[in-house]
Each structure stands twice: as C-alpha cells, then as structure tokens.
Homo-oligomer: A and B are copies of this chain.
Amino acid sequence: MIRTSKHLKKVSQYQPPSRKRSRKVKLDLNENMLGCSPKVLDALKNIDWENISCYPEYDLLIEKTAAHYHVKPEQILFTNGGDDAIRCAIDTYIMESDRVLLPVPTFSMFEIQLKIRGARIRYLPYQPDFSFPFDTYHRSLCKGITMGIIVNPGSPTGKSIKQDQLLSIVEKANTHNIVILLDETYHHFSGKTNMELIKSYSNLIIMQTFSKAFGLAGMRLGFIASQEQNILQMQKVNLPYTVNSLAVIAGLAAIEDYDHINKVISQVNNEREFLYRELTKLGLRPHMTETNFILVDCGNYCNDIFQQLAERGILVRNISSNLRMEHILRISIGTRKEHEILIAALKEIIPSLK
C-alpha cells in the first residue's frame, strides 16, 4: 500500500447523493429545473471543430462577467464550478494546522477541502432557528484564525446573514488579516450580492457559480472575485485551462440574457410559496428560505417519506443527519408539474405511515 498525504486519512470521498437521475423528478441537487436561457442552447448550435479541438480561451467571459458585477477583469478568476472555487481559495490560503471558522451545517465541500489541507476547523453551529451564529463567529475572529467561511444565503439553512453583521465580520477580520471566504452560490434568490465589497476589503474572497440561477450546472462554471493581488495568488493553484470551451460559450450567452434570470428568480419565488402552502396543508412543517430549495420537517416519518419518494422516482435530499436538521428533507424548487407530482405522492405516502 502506497503512502498518501497524511491528511487524506481523515477525508472521505464526496459521494454524489444520487445517480442515474435521468427521467426522475430531480428535486435533490438544487439545479435550475426551469432550465438555462434558450439563448444558451442557440449559441451551442453554432459550435465548430475548433471549439472542441483547441484549448479554451475565456478572456471575453471574464470581461463580461466583470462588467456585469462592476468589478475589473483582473478581479475575476474562473474555476471549474463552485467546488473548484472553494478548492482554489482554500489551497491558496490554508496550510496544515491553520484554524478556520466554519458555521455548520453547511455545504460539505468546505470541510473536505479544509481537511485535505490539514486545517483545524472550528465548527460554529447555526442558531436553532437557522440564523447565522453571529455572536460566536464575531467573537472567534482573533489572532490565530486564518480564514472564516460564510455561505450567504446559507446552505442548507437557507437564510441570509444580516447585512450589518456581515460588514462587521469582514471589517473585524480585515484588522486581523483573516480571509473571509464568502460563498454567494444562492445570491440571486436572496436578491443581494456583496461584490461591491471587494473594492474596500482586501481580505474578502467571494465565490459565485453559474450552476444555480443561470442553470449551467452541467457546464461546471464558477468564479472567484477578489482584489487583484489575491487573484494573482489564487491563479497559481488554478489550472490554466480549467473551463471547458463550450462552458465559455454557454456562460457568455447566459450572462447576456438577464431577462431569463429574472424570470427564473420570480418563478422560484412563486413555486416556493406554492410548495410551502401545499406542504403545510399536508401537516408537514416547511421552513421558508431565500434560496431555490425549501426545508421540510417531516417528524419521525422523515426517512420513510424520503425512501418512498425515491421508490416513486422522486428525488429529494435527506439531510436529517446534519446538525440542526433532524427530521428534515431538503426539496429543490422545480416546476409546477414536478411539485404537483411530489404533492400527489406525499398525499398517498403520508396516510400510509400513520
């Protein structure tokens, strides 16, 4: 047996929660089930062999993205999806034994990447009502901490941190040279990005993705925004041709069709309301979020409901083993049709369990 990096002993493989998802009702991965802009598919109709056979170039995508968010192209670094943005930031700034603040529960990729680098993670539990643990987080920002992670809105907690609290954290972290890694994966649904803060704070690294509101999860397109000297450092651990040429074409078409994004956001908001009402009527306890998923407390029947939905080809995410998430299923916001299938199934399943 060949010796691996010692930190890998504590790391487990990320297992995609479900596979062979084709032809199922996919309410498990917070994808955009309304689909990408039709202009993305149009743009991809015009590809030729050079798009396939030549190495990708994405200066134009960087320029357009920077312009869209009112930052400089030198402040943007594209990555192979949001996962790779997390990897790049952590690999650039975290060394063995560095201490990192991580509010939990959260997206598992943070813990995986931190463990790969041998970081010491200080887990800060969200409040019982899923709100951000501001007091403990703010108090923990002191000498000896290298990085603090904030996912905003939270995942799977679904709520935003208050803006004055976020500012107070970034400000205090800055005085201690602590990097704040701010994950804005779901920001379109909460309606608020903090991209403008990178102008003022050299310790702020923001990551975003084209996988959610833009509907490009299959394209693997994410990016980091930060001050130029930080981007130059992260470029060292970012692979030079990390984004696929067709992802570049898709990204360009997506970012130019903001009408589609607005439509997606409004439809997600409506459908989340619909699901909230229907789940309540069924006697379940949904939690409203500012994202494209909803949380549902299913009580003691949580695992049974999850299982029986899966048997019917309806995929949701069972997050009940997470801290604070006892009895909770996470359901992505899909189309009205998908929600009607889900509700109809629950109407059959729930009475059979009692």
Contacts and interface: CB of A to CB of B under 8 A. Distances in A.
Interface of A: 1-6, 8, 11-16, 19-22, 26, 29, 31-33, 35-36, 40-41, 44-45, 47-57, 59, 80-81, 83-84, 87, 91-96, 112, 116, 146, 177, 179, 202-203, 211, 215-220, 229-230, 232-233, 235-237, 239-247, 250
Given A2-B177, A230-B2, A239-B80, A216 B92 contact: no
Contacts of A146: 3
Contact of A220 (B29, B218, B244): B244
Contact of A94 (B5, B93, B218, B237): B5
Contacts of A45: 45
A9 to B, nearest CB: 10
B56 A220 contact: yes
Contacts of A217: 53-55, 241
Given A41-B47, A217-B53, A219-B246, A3 B93 contact: yes
A118 to B, nearest CB: 9
Contact of A40 (B2, B52, B55): B52
Contacts of A47: 41, 44
A92 B8 CA distance: 7
A116 B44 CA distance: 36
- Ranked 5 nearest A-B pairs via Cβ: A218-B245, A35-B49, A244-B244, A53-B215, A14-B240
A14 B239 CA distance: 8
A19 B56 CA distance: 10
A247 B244 contact: yes
B215 A81 contact: no
B55 A36 contact: no
Nearest to A214: B53
Contact of A52 (B4, B84, B218): B218
A4 B219 CA distance: 29
Nearest to A248: B218
A7 to B, nearest CB: 8
B219 A52 contact: yes
A250 B52 contact: yes
B80 A116 contact: no
